[in-house]
A = this chain, B = another copy of it.
Amino acid sequence: MREVAVIGVGMTLFGRHTDKTIRELGEEALWATLQDAGVKPRDIQVAYVGNALGRLSGQEMIAGQMLLREVGITSIPITRVEDACASASFAFRESWLAVASGLYDVALAVGVEKMTNGTTEEVTRALAGASDTELEAGLGITFPGVFAMVARRHMHQYGTTREQMAQVSVKNHDNGALNPRSQFQKRFTVEEVLASRPIARPLNLFDCCPISDGCAAAVLVAKDLVSRYTTRPIWIAGSGQASGAFEPAADITIFKPTLMASRAAYTMAGMGPEDIDLAEVHDCFTIAEVIHTEDLGFAPKGEGGPFIQGGNTAIGGPIPINTSGGLLAKGHPVGATGLAQIVEIVEQLRGQSASRQVEGAKVGLAMCLGGFMHSDAGTVAAHILKS
């Protein structure tokens, strides 16, 4: 397997793009990405497109071909990958594999979603399609409900407090206010999070990520070609992916696929949690970030709450998490999120993150989660990037 570098990234502003079609979002992110990479559309040899809820924007199938045609990328192999909210992370991983294998030299990974043209009920119902629809969704469960149960259990088992969870939202909104591409630019206090409208107790509105539109992308090339394009490549040091173990008596405060995917990525990179300078994790709900902080090895199991409350994951802390604002503040166009994480890590490792720059960052981790079924996370991808 060959070494692979990210040579360019780009994304739209995340948020409500009621005035733009999904293809216009794609066009904007793709031109930004190609320009950042210094490549022309004809240089791209293969593309993977992450998209989860294409039907909300009308193009249920072959969405990748339609999107890439907007910037003149045609004829090449274009494959859509979908695994709910992890779709773009999987597109990134398949792009890495296509180049690492030696089959292609230049790959494009894209993630795109347009959700705000659905009503909240339509989107909630569609997202419930990322649980076991025969069993769970059929019984009326939705993702706020799933994560509320996880939160209750974490509180019961480890003494995690509502204030600690709220701190995730406060931190991520602080970071989002420093990120011009973040859906929300507003800061909140712990008290404001606790006073926001209940969604699924104990989770309130500001514990939940919003419904969003957006597109993010990255160009990956083989080591041999890197010097043609850039003097500051960001290397893909590790990649891991795993699915739920679906054990009947599983502990719902541990997401096994995160343990497995991150272990695979750490092993490939020859690194451990102590080597990571910053991380983007899947904070679809505040409790999720608490759990990822533990499962990725940044805090011992059960101590994620106090760890976050103590400021350890803030910019300036030992392990800044979700410097982009995360899903909670930056927004969560589900099929685009995994690549927006890559955009943030790449820019941080290049020292381009302005007021939210993590000083001296050399290694970053991105972790994305899709679905949740039968007491376990559905699927997870983890990537370790280094400058």
Distance in Å: Cβ of A260 to nearest Cβ of chain B: 6
Residue in B68, B78, B102, B244 whose beta carbon sits within 8 Å of that of A74 in the complex: B244
Distance in Å: Cβ of A76 to nearest Cβ of chain B: 6
Q: In A64-94, which residues have CB < 8 Å from any B CB?
A: 64-66, 68-69, 74-84, 90, 94
Stretch from A124-132, A286-294, A319-327, A342-350 at the B interface? A124-132
Contact A61 B74 (CB under 8 A): no
Q: A55 an interface residue at 8 Å Cβ cutoff?
A: yes
Q: Which residues of B contact A69 (CB under 8 A)?
A: 244, 246, 374
Q: In A338-381, which residues have CB < 8 Å from any B CB?
A: 370-371, 373-374, 378-379
Contact A257 B94 (CB under 8 A): no
Least CB separation from A137: chain B residue: B58
Distance in Å: Cβ of A380 to nearest Cβ of chain B: 9
Q: Which residues of B contact A257 (CB under 8 A)?
A: 75
Q: Which residues of B contact A68 (CB under 8 A)?
A: 243
A7–B263 alpha-carbon span in the complex (Å)? 30
Distance in Å: Cβ of A344 to nearest Cβ of chain B: 23
Distance in Å: Cβ of A293 to nearest Cβ of chain B: 22
Q: Which of A23, A66, A69, A102 has the most CB of B within 10 A?
A: A66
Q: Which of A64, A79, A260 has the most CB of B within 10 A?
A: A79
Q: In A15-64, which residues have CB < 8 Å from any B CB?
A: 21, 23, 52-55, 58-62, 64
The copy count of this chain in the complex is 2
Q: A245 an interface residue at 8 Å Cβ cutoff?
A: yes
A379–B62 alpha-carbon span in the complex (Å)? 8
A133–B54 alpha-carbon span in the complex (Å)? 11
Q: A205 an interface residue at 8 Å Cβ cutoff?
A: no
Distance in Å: Cβ of A85 to nearest Cβ of chain B: 9
Size band of the interface chain A makes with B: 35 or more
Least CB separation from A130: chain B residue: B61
Q: A109 an interface residue at 8 Å Cβ cutoff?
A: no
Contact A75 B256 (CB under 8 A): yes
Q: A98 an interface residue at 8 Å Cβ cutoff?
A: yes
Contact B55 A55 (CB under 8 A): yes
Given contacts A74-B245, A74-B246, A257-B75, contact A371 B80 (CB under 8 A): no
Residue in B23, B59, B83 whose beta carbon sits within 8 Å of that of A129 in the complex: B59
Least CB separation from A100: chain B residue: B101
Contact A243 B77 (CB under 8 A): yes
Q: Which of A61, A133, A242, A245 has the most CB of B within 10 A?
A: A61
Residue in B1, B65, B81, B129 whose beta carbon sits within 8 Å of that of A60 in the complex: B129
Distance in Å: Cβ of A368 to nearest Cβ of chain B: 13
Q: Which residues of B contact A246 (CB under 8 A)?
A: 69, 74
The 6 closest A-B pairs by CB, nearest first: A101-B101, A60-B129, A77-B241, A62-B371, A61-B84, A61-B130
Name 16 A/B residue pairs within 8 A (Cβ), A-sorted. Answer: A1-B102, A21-B134, A55-B60, A59-B129, A59-B134, A60-B130, A61-B371, A66-B132, A66-B134, A75-B243, A79-B241, A80-B81, A81-B81, A94-B94, A97-B98, A97-B101
